Structure 1
Amino acid sequence: MSEDDGDPVIEEVPVYLSHDLADHLFIYQYPVRPANNSFDNANIIKCSIKPEHQEVSMEFAMDTQTNNYDISHGEQIALNVDGSREKPHQERCFQSPLMDKTSLQSVKVLADIASTAVASFSGKHVVLSPLTGIISLQPSFPYLDLTEKRAREELKERGSMDFSAIEEEEDKDKQITVKFARQESERMKRARERSFNYLSMKSAEEPWYDTNYYPSTSRESEMERQKLQLSKERGEDETSSLCLKPQQYIQNLLPSLQEESWIIPSLPSNVLSLTAIKALPLSEQVRLILRDVKVMTFGQLSSLLVGCGDLVKLLRNVQQAAVLVLGNWVIRSDFLYPKESFSTNNGVPGEIMARARDYVLYLLGEADGKYIDRRQIATILKLPPEELKEILVQVARPQPSKGWTFILPQDKDFIEKYPDVVERQTLWWEAKYKQLKEAFGSRDMSPSKTRTRKRESSTSSSHVPKDNHVQIRESNTRVG
Structure 2
Amino acid sequence: MANEEDDPIIQEIDVYLAKSLSEKLYLFQYPIRPASMTYSDVTHLSAKIKPKQQKVELEMAIDTLNPNYCRSKGEQIALNVDGTCTDETSTYSSKLMDKQMFCSSRTTSNVSRYAAAIYRKGEIHLTPLHGILQLRPSFSYLDKADAKHREREAANEGGDSSQDEVEDDIKQITVRFSRPESEQARQRRVQSYEFLQKRQAEEHWVHLHYYGLRDSRSEHERQYLFSQGHSMAGNTELVKSPSEYLMMLVPPSIEEAKDKCVSPSNVLSMAQLRTLPLADQIKILMKNVKVIAFASLMSLLAPGTDPTAVLRCIQQVALLVQGNWVVKSDVLYPKDTSSPHSGVPAEVLCRGRDFVMWKFTQDRWVVRKEVAAVTKLGPEDVKDFLEHMAFLRINRGWEFKLRCDEDFVRKHPDVVQRQQMLWMGIQAKLEKVYSLAREHAAPKKQATQTAVPLLVSGEQRVSLAKAKVQQTFGQLEQEFQRRKAESRVSRAASPTDVLGIRIKEEPVSDEEPMDTAACDGLSNRLVNGIHWEENSGDSLNGHLLGQDRITQELRAFVEATFRKQYVLTLSELKRLFNLHVASLPPGNLLFSGISDRMLQDVVLDTGCKQIMVPFPPQMTALPDEQKVFALWEAGDAYDQHRQILLEIFSKNYRVRRNVIQSQLAREYGEEINKQEMDKVLKDCCVSQGGMWYLKGTVQQQTS
TM-score, scaled to structure 1: 0.47
Higher relative contact order (CA 8 A, sep 6+): 1
In our comparison, the structure showing a higher alpha carbon Rg is 2
TM-score, scaled to structure 2: 0.33
